[in-house]
């Protein structure tokens, strides 16, 4: 049964669910905002279910991963795809190793994704990744990319999604990679495969099962992350086209869960909200082991700050309750990195923060302030030059950047922000708002007004009735 959006928004006190086999989450602490209390109606997902950050070139570097870890202690993080040949050929290049293999101390669990099609190179890359440097032995898993549709990868490199045409070779690669790390002192649980549901005209369910059968026949692989679109590799589609035009076929992944009970499947593609994660899990008959999210986390990272509570019933206790907290915590990481790499690193350090206030009044000004810091890195402009007596730290610059946003936006809790997002989604759906610009801005203002009115009313009832906490008030106002 599909989990209705209205059930999420309006069933405020129900503690039962169609998913009766899962325990009800604990009641939320009284100090949390009243308007987030309706989240208690949803039972947590199973402890072995995973919400993963999808690997994205130029995005999921260690700085963005650090930001995501501050946002969510539960999210499984993935590296950018790193080619096996690049690791092998630059194993003595400390700058390259630091750029692509270093992890921040907070990151784990993190998965390293490799690209390549030569078993020996992939095997050596695995060994280098887990043993060569003090910073690169903490990966929780290694993944072989069999899903990237980029021309550079699939045509010139003959790997990525192109590998789905050679499933036996994929199995040989996995076997070699697994053997390479089995004698290392580092605990890598397994090698997994990320793929599409098909390529070009080889896009039937039987084509997909043939791929799974062939790979598992010659390798120990047990886990597949599947982007539920086919890849078009004839040169007519760009990478963006391949992410959006081929239709999503979630049913293929659900059927794999049914037909291969001994394997683990994670679904990727088109997942844009926390509520949809519940829908997908239910539609798979609760057999999916995880869901992977990419562009949505990049475009609206703070929205996903609620995943620990909404999906798993856990409360992050890392001191990051607002976006102001997040920026200042991230600034500590940025300062440490800049101390090693210098001001030139500011572009990569600030980029993860650019979309933090998307959808808020002043969000454009925030992006401009971030861009100003990135563009001026290493320049002779006053306050930025590394050797200037007027040099300003990233902490100071980010604290100043926060002043372009309203205090309410900076200090609003993650739970209240999530409810605002749900209200926006409801208004967009009911009123048929399309596109961006003024229409979306109007929706944001309308949602804010509804949210503030509801909050004032609940606070009034609490005060008039002298309720001891928000749960008591909620039970008497539903």
What tens digit of pLDDT does each residue of 56-68 get? Answer: 998 999 999 999 9
What tens digit of pLDDT does each residue of 130-170 get? Answer: 886 555 557 889 999 999 988 766 555 678 999 999 999 99
When pLDDT is averaged across residues 60-86 and rounded to a whole number, the result is: 95
Mean pLDDT of the chain: 82
Place of tokens 């200037």: 388
Residue 274 in this model has a pLDDT that exceeds 70: yes
Q: Is 73 exposed, middle or buried (0-12, 13-18, 19+ CB in 10 A)?
A: middle
Distance CA 213, CA 233 (A): 23
Domain boundaries of the chain, sorted by first residue: 50-312, 323-411
Choice between 26 and 454, residue whose per-residue pLDDT is larger: 454
Query: 3-state DSSP call for residue 146?
Result: strand
Choice between 470 and 371, residue whose per-residue pLDDT is larger: 371
Q: In sequence order, which residues have a C-beta less than 8 Å from that of residue 333 and are 6 or more positions away?
A: 63, 66, 104
Q: In sequence order, which residues have a C-beta less than 8 Å from that of residue 112 and are 6 or more positions away?
A: 79, 82, 101, 129, 139, 141, 142, 143
**Set 68, 126, 146, 148: catalytic member:** 148
Residue 3 in this model has a pLDDT that exceeds 70: no
What is the side-by-side strand order in the sheet with 290-293?
50-53, 290-293, 264-268, 223-227, 191-196, 141-146, 110-115, 77-83
Distance CA 405, CA 324 (A): 10
Residue 37 in this model has a pLDDT that exceeds 50: no
When pLDDT is averaged across residues 27-52 and rounded to a whole number, the result is: 64
Choice between 474 and 354, residue whose per-residue pLDDT is larger: 354
Q: Is 68 a catalytic residue?
A: no
164-173 in b/e form (b: 16+ CB < 10 A) is: bbbbebbbbb
Residue 26 in this model has a pLDDT that exceeds 80: no
Choice between 413 and 227, residue whose per-residue pLDDT is larger: 227
Backbone angles phi, psi at 474, to 5 degrees: -60, -45
Which range (310-319, 363-372, 415-424) has the least confidence?
415-424
pLDDT of residue 413: 86
Choice between 164 and 314, residue whose per-residue pLDDT is larger: 164
- What's the CATH class of domain 50-312? alpha beta
pLDDT band of residue 467 (cuts 50, 70, 90) is: low
What are residue 110's DSSP bridge partners? Answer: 77
What tens digit of pLDDT does each residue of 159-204 get? Answer: 899 999 999 999 999 999 999 988 776 667 689 999 999 999 999 9
pLDDT of residue 370: 97
Does the CA dihedral 407-411-416-420 come out positive or negative? positive
pLDDT of residue 265: 99
CB 116, CB 93: distance < 8 Å? no
What tens digit of pLDDT does each residue of 107-131 get? Answer: 888 999 999 999 999 999 998 888 8
CB 284, CB 262: distance < 8 Å? no
pLDDT of residue 131: 80
């Amino acid at each position: 049964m599909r989990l209705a959006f209205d059930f999420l928004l309006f069933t405020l006190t129900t503690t039962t669910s169609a998913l009766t086999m899962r325990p009800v989450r604990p009641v939320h602490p009284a100090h949390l905002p009243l308007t987030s209390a309706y989240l208690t109606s949803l039972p947590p997902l199973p402890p072995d279910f995973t919400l993963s950050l999808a690997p994205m070139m130029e995005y999921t570097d260690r700085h963005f991963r650090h930001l995501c870890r501050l946002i969510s202690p539960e999210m499984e993080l993935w590296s950018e795809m790193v080619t096996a040949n690049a690791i092998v050929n630059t194993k003595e290049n400390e700058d390259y190793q630091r750029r692509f293999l270093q992890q921040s101390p907070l990151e784990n669990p993190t998965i390293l994704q490799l690209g390549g099609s030569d078993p020996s190179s992939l095997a050596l890359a695995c060994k280098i990744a887990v043993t060569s440097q003090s910073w690169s032995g903490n990966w929780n898993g290694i993944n072989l990319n069999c899903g990237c549709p980029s021309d550079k990868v699939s045509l010139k490199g003959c790997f990525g999604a192109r590998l789905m045409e050679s499933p036996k070779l994929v199995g040989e690669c996995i076997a070699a990679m697994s053997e390479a790390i089995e004698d290392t002192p580092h605990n890598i649980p397994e090698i997994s495969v990320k793929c599409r549901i098909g390529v070009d005209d080889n896009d039937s369910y039987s084509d997909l099962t043939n791929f799974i059968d062939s790979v598992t026949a010659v390798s120990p692989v047990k886990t597949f992350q599947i982007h539920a679109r086919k890849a078009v590799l004839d040169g007519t589609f760009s990478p963006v086209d391949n992410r959006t035009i081929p239709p999503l076929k979630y049913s293929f992944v659900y059927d794999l869960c049914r037909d291969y009970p001994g394997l683990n499947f994670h679904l990727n593609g088109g997942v844009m909200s926390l509520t949809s994660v519940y829908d997908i899990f239910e539609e798979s008959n609760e057999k999916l082991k995880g869901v992977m999210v990419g562009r949505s986390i990049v475009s609206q990272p703070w929205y996903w700050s609620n995943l620990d509570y909404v999906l798993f019933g856990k409360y992050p206790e890392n001191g990051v309750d607002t976006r102001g907290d997040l920026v200042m915590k991230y600034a500590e990481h940025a300062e440490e990195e800049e101390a090693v790499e210098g001001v030139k690193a500011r572009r990569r350090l600030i980029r993860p923060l650019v979309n933090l206030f998307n959808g808020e009044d002043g969000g454009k000004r925030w992006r401009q302030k971030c861009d100003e810091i990135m563009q001026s890195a290493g320049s002779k402009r006053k306050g930025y030059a590394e050797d200037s007596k007027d040099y300003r730290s990233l902490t100071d610059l980010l604290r100043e950047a926060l002043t372009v946003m309203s205090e309410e936006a900076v200090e609003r809790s993650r739970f209240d922000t999530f409810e605002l997002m749900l209200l926006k989604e409801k208004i967009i759906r009911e009123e048929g708002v399309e596109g961006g610009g003024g229409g979306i801005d109007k929706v944001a203002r309308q949602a804010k007004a509804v949210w503030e009115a509801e909050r004032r009313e609940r606070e009034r009832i609490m005060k008039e009735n002298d309720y001891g906490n928000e749960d008591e008030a909620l039970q008497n106002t539903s």
